[in-house]
Amino acid sequence: MNTKKSNKSIAGYHLLMILSAVDGEFAPEEGMMIQKYLAEEFPFQVNLDDELDVIAMLKPEEWKAHFEFHAQCFLDDSTKEERTSFRKFAKTLIKADNEVSDTEHDFYEILKKIWKLD
């Protein structure tokens, strides 16, 4: 696993991509939500191909550790208000396809626990 610390925006991208994949299906609605996040976080053109490659190379059994690592990166580089806002966005993302799997819920709870949010 890549242990290079990510900034808040990149960490958020990793978190959202994993949240959208853990149920085994990447719904179009989730893709639209991630595009919205990217537009807000990266108003300039940014190449995320390397980040996407890292995520794509992960095996499902590696997702949790990668998710926890990037949750910590986001925590280290954000305010409580930013974490609260991101948590709400993440909740909207996992609900975007009108179905929240147990795994999506579990990862969402991991995020809340690492960030000490209720």
**Residue-wise pLDDT tens digits, 48-81:** 899 999 999 999 999 999 999 999 999 999 999 9
d(CA 33, CA 115): 22
Total number of domains constituting the chain: 1
Task: Give the domain extent around 38.
Answer: 8-114
Q: Which of 42, 22, 36, 41 is nearest to 82 (CA)?
A: 41
- Residue 3 lies inside a defined structural domain of this protein: no
- Residue 2 lies inside a defined structural domain of this protein: no
pLDDT band at 118 (very low <50, low <70, confident <90, very high): confident
- Residue 92 lies inside a defined structural domain of this protein: yes
pTM above 0.85, yes or no: yes
- Residue 23 lies inside a defined structural domain of this protein: yes
- Residue 75 lies inside a defined structural domain of this protein: yes
- Averaged pLDDT of the chain: 92
- Residue 62 lies inside a defined structural domain of this protein: yes
- Residue 15 lies inside a defined structural domain of this protein: yes
- Residue 1 lies inside a defined structural domain of this protein: no
d(CA 41, CA 102): 28
Angle between helices 28-41 and 8-21 (to 10 degrees): 180
Residue with tokens 């550790």: 65
pLDDT band at 1 (very low <50, low <70, confident <90, very high): low
d(CA 51, CA 58): 11
